[in-house]
């Protein structure tokens, strides 16, 4: 498993591209209103899969003699170098330009707790998507200790229990002042945990067979719900979320194993792989680019332009901005991770084989 974690898999970048395009279609067109939720869920499952793989290697470092605190420090520094700079750059620019929304919510965003506020007050105009970034950061806080310290024999059962707990949490009646409970971390954590379960399945044939057997049925159920063939109440919606996470884990597993060559060739092609590589920037920037587009249209006094024009202009401009951000801002900062290997060489000879970091995160 650890060896697999070091291979770069372009088809996973392609899946990221699918996820971010689903978000763009949902936010910028009259179609696929629920597509954004599916895109974010796919991001969550991918994140759970990749981060759990990284943390299993961190666990090996701890078991090889490296200090837990040192290992956690390396993990959090690397995560911070990848996740924080682009968001803080956007927040700093918004603050300096006097954006009222960012100035009002700045501390919620800096602390990655905006999902708690949004669950009560609803979605703001430009930074609503930051709720999912907050969920991921909260996941990063708790998950390392679970993966590193949980007994191996209990890990799969523990993750399964968390998946069930998340599904149950969704059907518990929310307090009256909680308008959008779906933005709370427990509500969506089953998607992250399904990704983690997929990671464990790489060393557990029984678990792998279970995902391969149940995944197609979950996908069929989700497709039926999208086609309005499944009556949805609170329980039905929770079941759809559950099956969505399971179906995505199954699809990711197929992509990782190369079980569908045609699909993998499509996902791993140069364009989707590149879109996936810069997908984080696309996700962060797109509402701000959309706001600029709306101001430009208003300034030109052309009225409301067709949704296709909005989608095309905003999507292309966002991709261009994300590409520039990756080339001149994110990638240079990301390269600093080489100074913070998960397992520090030299101190413990047993760790030498674990030093090379994965290239997929």
Q: Going residue by residue through the chain (361 aa), what tens digit of pLDDT does each one get?
A: 333 344 688 999 999 999 999 999 999 987 777 788 999 999 999 999 999 999 999 999 999 999 999 999 999 999 999 999 999 999 999 999 999 999 999 999 999 999 999 999 999 989 999 999 999 999 999 999 999 999 999 999 999 999 999 999 999 988 888 888 889 999 999 999 999 999 999 989 999 999 999 999 999 999 999 888 878 888 999 999 999 999 999 999 999 988 778 788 899 999 999 999 999 999 999 999 999 998 888 766 555 667 788 999 999 999 999 999 999 999 999 999 999 999 887 655 444 444 443 344 5
Distance CA 360, CA 8 (A): 5
Q: Quick one: DSSP state of residue 8?
A: -
CB atoms within 10 A of CB 245: 30
H helices of 176-260, where? 185-201, 205-226, 234-257
Give this prediction's pTM: 0.92
With tokens 């292309």, the residue in question is 316
Rounded alpha-carbon distances, angstroms, from residue 77 to 68, 89, 207, 297, 333: 14, 17, 32, 42, 11
Q: CA–CA separation, 16 vs 22, rounded Å?
A: 10
Q: If we measure between CA atoms, which residue out of 134, 279, 119, 253 comes closest to residue 199?
A: 253
- Quick one: pLDDT at residue 5? 42
- Measured CA to CA, the distance from residue 225 to residue 242 in angstroms comes to 12
Contact 129, 287 (CB under 8 A): yes
* Six token digits for residue 357: 């970091």
Q: Please tell me the predicted confidence (pLDDT) of residue 347.
A: 56
- Cα torsion 249, 250, 251, 254: sign: positive
Residues with Cβ < 8 Å from 320, sequence gap 6 or more? none
CA 192, 321, 13, 147 torsion-angle sign: negative
Report how far residue 288's alpha carbon sits from residue 35's, in angstroms, rounded to the nearest whole number: 19
Q: For tokens 């290697």, what's the residue?
A: 57
Task: Kindly report the number of other CB atoms within 10 A of residue 103's CB atom.
Answer: 12
Query: What SS3 state is found at 33?
Result: coil
Distance, CA of 360 to CA of 2 (rounded, Å): 13
Mapped onto helix, strand or coil, the DSSP state of residue 99 is coil
How far is Cα 135 from Cα 336, in angstroms, rounded to an integer? Answer: 25
| Residue 319 per-residue DSSP state | H
11 near 260, Cβ under 8 Å?
A: no
How far apart are alpha carbons 33 and 227 in whole angstroms?
A: 13
Which residue from 275, 215, 281 is spatially nearest to 247, judged by alpha carbons? 215
Can you give the pLDDT at residue 359?
Answer: 43
Nearest to 272 by CA among 35, 9, 15: 15
């Amino acid at each position: 498993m650890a060896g697999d974690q070091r291979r770069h898999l372009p088809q996973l970048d392609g899946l990221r591209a699918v996820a971010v395009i689903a978000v763009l279609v949902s936010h910028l067109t009259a179609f696929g209103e629920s597509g954004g939720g599916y895109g974010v869920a796919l991001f969550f499952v991918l994140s759970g899969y990749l981060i759990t793989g990284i943390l299993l290697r961190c666990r090996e470092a701890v078991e090889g003699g490296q200090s837990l605190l040192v290992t956690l420090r390396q993990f959090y520094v690397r995560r911070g170098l990848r996740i924080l700079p682009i968001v803080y750059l956007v927040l700093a620019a918004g603050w300096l330009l006097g954006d009222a929304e960012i100035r009002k919510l700045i501390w919620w965003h800096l602390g990655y707790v905006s999902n708690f506020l949004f669950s009560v007050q609803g979605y703001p105009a430009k930074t609503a998507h930051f709720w999912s970034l907050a969920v991921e950061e909260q996941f990063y806080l708790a998950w390392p200790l679970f993966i590193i310290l949980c007994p191996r024999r209990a890990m799969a059962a523990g993750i399964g229990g968390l998946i069930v707990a998340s599904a149950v949490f969704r059907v518990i009646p929310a307090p009256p002042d909680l308008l959008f409970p779906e933005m709370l971390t427990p509500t969506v954590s089953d998607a992250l945990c399904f990704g983690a379960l997929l990671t464990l399945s790489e060393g557990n044939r029984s678990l792998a067979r279970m995902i391969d057997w149940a995944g197609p049925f979950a996908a069929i159920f989700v497709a039926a719900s999208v086609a309005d063939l499944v009556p949805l109440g609170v329980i039905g919606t929770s079941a759809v979320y559950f099956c969505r996470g399971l179906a995505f884990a199954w699809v990711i597993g197929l992509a990782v194993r190369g079980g569908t060559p045609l699909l993998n060739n499509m996902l791993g092609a140069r364009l989707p792989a590149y879109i996936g590589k810069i997908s984080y920037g696309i996700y962060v920037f797109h509402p701000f680019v959309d706001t600029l587009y709306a101001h430009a249209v208003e300034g030109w006094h052309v009225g409301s332009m067709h949704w296709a024009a909005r989608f095309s202009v905003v999507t292309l401009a966002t991709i261009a901005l994300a590409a520039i951000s990756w080339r001149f801002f994110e990638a240079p900062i990301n390269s600093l991770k080489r100074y913070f290997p998960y397992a520090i060489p030299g101190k413990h000879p047993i760790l030498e084989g674990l030093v090379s970091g994965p290239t997929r995160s």
